[in-house]
Amino acid sequence: MKVFRCNRPELSIIIFFIFSGYIQSQSLSELPQFSQKTAFDGQIEGFAPAPAEPLSLWYRRPAEKWTEALAIGNGRLGAMVFGGIVNERLQLNEDTLWAGGPYEPINPEALAALPEARRLIFEGQYRQASRFIDSKMMGKPLTQMPYQTVGDVLLQFDSFERVADYRRDLNLDTAVATTSFTADGVRYTRQVFSSSVDQVIAVHLTADKPGHISCRIGMKSPQKASVKCDGSDTLVLSGVNGGSAGIAGALKFQARLLAKTTGGTLSPEQDCLKIIGADSAVLLIVIATSYKKYNDVSCDPEFLTKQAIEAAGKRSVQDILKDHIAAHQSLFRRVSLDLGSTEAIKNPTDRRIADFAKGNDPQLAALYFQFGRYLLICSSRPGTQPANLQGIWNDSMTPPWGSKYTININTEMNYWPAEPTNLGECVEPLIAMVMDLSQTGRRIAQMHWGAGGWVCHHNTDLWRAAAPIDGATWGFWPTGGAWLCKHLWEHYEYNGDRIYLEKIWPVLKEAAQFFLDTLVEESTHKWLVTCPSLSPENGHQFGASICAGPTMDSQIIRDLFDSCIIAGGILNTDQSFRSQLVKVRDRLAPNQIGNAGQLQEWLEDWDMEAPDKHHRHVSHLYGLYPSDQINIYDTPELAAAARKSLEIRGDNATGWGIGWRLNLWARLLDAEHAYSILKLLIAPERTYPNMFDAHPPFQIDGNFGGTAGIAEMMMHSRVQYSGESMLTEIELLPALPKIWPNGRIQGLRAKGGFELDIEWREGRLNYAKIRSLLGNLCRVRYAGRCYPIQIQKGQEIVWQVPPIADGK
């Protein structure tokens, strides 16, 4: 039996004193035996080969930085796994641990100020309007609550003399992170995964010789929290969240770790657990907070964690793992993508990211595509919170932009890949959030705008705050909630579930009602426009972003009204409301083409005078993507203008800015340009070694934008309505670049309820298998031409380009 030894025996007395008086609000540096340092100081010998599963991220050294660690998650419980050899770190998250408590960010002065703000804007006094809005009309507080870390589980193992054949990997197909190496003649394997079935994070420590698992297990947190042992095998971190921006913390939380060993001994030691000489060990970690709903914090985290650990503790780790893999694969395996592979596949992932733009590594593009799907499954499942700016992975108390929901692009982008890549269930948390916002946003509509319906501005948080925040320049934009409604409607377009449509109808209707009540007439054309608003977050030449009727607003409202007109028709309800929507829709400001041939971003032709012509946001191109209002076939002039705007903006941007451009170029059917954008995204400047997107800093939207963009290169679907009947047009291989001459994608979903497998050879479609789930009408478009097809509900057809039409 191996005896546990402290790495630095000379410190053990000091450690004892620190431990006995240890309160968790102390920083890690006061706990030398639980170092966060995961680097291995010695030489790692040998070269571990690539994992057998090609859908893996893998490395030959432990992570040192957080953006090198590997992300696991079950939608709610997340961990970043560092793969340390002597000191291992699991940084933990639970998706409801945010700062603050229930609050209503109402500014009672705002409504009275609305007429004056409009007067200033319509008189062209934009700078003054912006200052006036800042002083009178913003929500209180001016910022929302941040998402925060739970803390860390830290493991300290024996020190080793010689370490060889080290590898850490994340298998996307099983959603298991594995660290393995040989040390002093023993092969160690550590598996970590987050199970949605058992609601636990499980750590399985094994060695190929008995009696070699010895470690100390501790927990720490930057929250107001304390750690104590509960019995001989359990460690409990209990805490409360903090306040932010004057909103008091109202959440309790608890993280509970149960250790189970085979052989050896397990004992509590001060505020940690100690394993000596075990054959193997399992750690089960559960976390809960008192959050129940945005206005209810009455859950009992102690009860919840005890219950979950008791249930999971009775099961073998093999059973927990088996169920976890089955649950993950039931979603993940719905789509496969084969773009071929090259020698590059043999290299570790960080090296491949560095090389992607210079070489030919098609399998890395497929891996990036599948990583986005993996991240969505791991950060957004039915019953969890929606994926925030960092999904669920955040090691900070004050993360960038609060790691919240920025809904002027970022949250929507998170969900772009969901429906086409066959992860419709993952949208449920977003739908639930929008239902909440329709409640909280009703008060903001009333108190800030004197309107019916509901509104949400450019951000929201766990507490579903809906008021304008941050400052007029960024936050005074009333169309965020309306954009989110597009996802609610599209969920119906993909699934055709009438009961679901009935459930969301009031949310759509009231989102539209807000605009019926607040649109105002501009004097030149008598169009109906939003005011005040802005084109996110771009300034125009008059020293402000505040304006009336930015193009994006009209596009979003047009989509919202159209979806209400169709949905109301399907449900045969609210006839007069729908007639009103038709009239108002026809008076919305149209898309306009400016002097430079560009699609105008604003009501006036200001684009070429704007101070930042290369702005990361491309808001007015919403009409091209994600919307279908502009497309090459029906509106070629507008499509050409959108192309011009895109050229003026340029290719380079933040991670998500590049992700959006990728989708836009695919929509313009420019395969080579789309691929050149993908090269900007999969590069060290925009993709960290762990494949997280770099805004920079880390922001997950670029990952999702990238996945959606690759899907968009393979297939596009749009729907035309005639009364209530839908006709889906499926465009096959709209933007296939030359670098991927042969390949296959299986399991994509199209609007109208179709599932598709597409195979191509030498750059040409070989066949498409089309399955109809709902029995809607369908036609195929390939290489610009349209082909009607006959397909019944439940039927699968194999479609190939007809020889005559193909010109043969």
String of DSSP letters for 92-157: EEETT-BSS-S-----TTHHHHHHHHHHHHHTT-HHHHHHHHHHHTS-SSSS-PPB---EEEEEEE
Look at the block and give the residue holding tokens 């603050």.
100
Residue 167 as a binder of ligand FUC (CB under 6 A): the answer is: no
Structure token pair of residue 368: 């990036």
**Helix residue ranges per DSSP H, 214-339:** 301-313, 317-332
Residues 681-710 that bind ligand FUC (CB under 6 A): 695, 699
Residue number with CB closer to ligand FUC (440 or 654): 654
Q: List, in sequence order, every residue forming a beta bridge with 163; answer none if it has no partner.
A: 44, 183
Among 24, 182, 410, 707, binds ligand FUC (CB under 6 A): 410
Structure token pair of residue 70: 């590997």
The nearest distance, CB 660 to ligand FUC, in angstroms, is 11
2 DSSP assignment: P
Q: Are residues 461 and 470 in contact, defined by beta-carbon separation less than 8 angstroms?
A: no
Residue 144 as a binder of ligand FUC (CB under 6 A): the answer is: no
Residues 381-400: x where in contact with ligand FUC by CB under 6 A, - otherwise, as a string: --------x-----------
| SS3 of residue 488 by DSSP | helix
Residue 309 as a binder of ligand FUC (CB under 6 A): the answer is: no
Residue number with CB closer to ligand FUC (627 or 654): 654
Q: What is the distance between the alpha carbons of residues 211 and 794, in angstroms, rounded to a whole number?
A: 56
Among 406, 422, 513, 555, binds ligand FUC (CB under 6 A): 406
The nearest distance, CB 389 to ligand FUC, in angstroms, is 6
Residues 42-61: x where in contact with ligand FUC by CB under 6 A, - otherwise, as a string: --------------------
Residue number with CB closer to ligand FUC (103 or 474): 474
Residue number with CB closer to ligand FUC (387 or 726): 387
Residue 490 as a binder of ligand FUC (CB under 6 A): the answer is: no
The nearest distance, CB 621 to ligand FUC, in angstroms, is 15
Residue 405 as a binder of ligand FUC (CB under 6 A): the answer is: no
Residue number with CB closer to ligand FUC (457 or 464): 457
Residue 451 as a binder of ligand FUC (CB under 6 A): the answer is: no
Beta strands in 295-446 (DSSP E): 336-338, 405-406
Structure token pair of residue 729: 């047009």
Q: What is the distance between the alpha carbons of residues 715 and 756, in angstroms, rounded to a whole number?
A: 9
| SS3 of residue 569 by DSSP | helix
| 701 CB neighbour count, 10 Å cutoff | 29
Look at the block and give the residue holding tokens 């109906």.
528
Residues 516-535 that bind ligand FUC (CB under 6 A): none
**Helix residue ranges per DSSP H, 476-550:** 480-495, 498-518
The nearest distance, CB 134 to ligand FUC, in angstroms, is 17
Reported as type and span, the H/E element at residue 263 is none
Residue number with CB closer to ligand FUC (618 or 710): 618
Among 94, 95, 152, 537, binds ligand FUC (CB under 6 A): 537
Among 654, 717, 728, 772, binds ligand FUC (CB under 6 A): 654
Residue 601 as a binder of ligand FUC (CB under 6 A): the answer is: no
Residue 401 as a binder of ligand FUC (CB under 6 A): the answer is: yes
Reported as type and span, the H/E element at residue 228 is strand 224-230
Residues 460-479 that bind ligand FUC (CB under 6 A): 474
Residue 483 as a binder of ligand FUC (CB under 6 A): the answer is: no
Using CB under 6 A, count the residues that bind ligand FUC. Answer: 11
Give the type of residue at 765: L
Structure token pair of residue 802: 């007809």
> Cα 665 vs. chain centroid, distance in angstroms?
22
Residue 545 as a binder of ligand FUC (CB under 6 A): the answer is: no
Residues 712-771 that bind ligand FUC (CB under 6 A): none
Residue number with CB closer to ligand FUC (216 or 616): 616
Residue number with CB closer to ligand FUC (657 or 753): 657
The nearest distance, CB 616 to ligand FUC, in angstroms, is 6
String of DSSP letters for 622-656: GGTTT-SSS-TTT-HHHHHHHHHHHHHH-S--SHH
The nearest distance, CB 402 to ligand FUC, in angstroms, is 9
| SS3 of residue 394 by DSSP | coil
Structure token pair of residue 325: 């893999």
Using CB under 6 A as the criterion, which residues of the chain lie in contact with ligand FUC when the complex forms?
A: 389, 401, 406, 410, 474, 537, 616, 654, 656, 695, 699
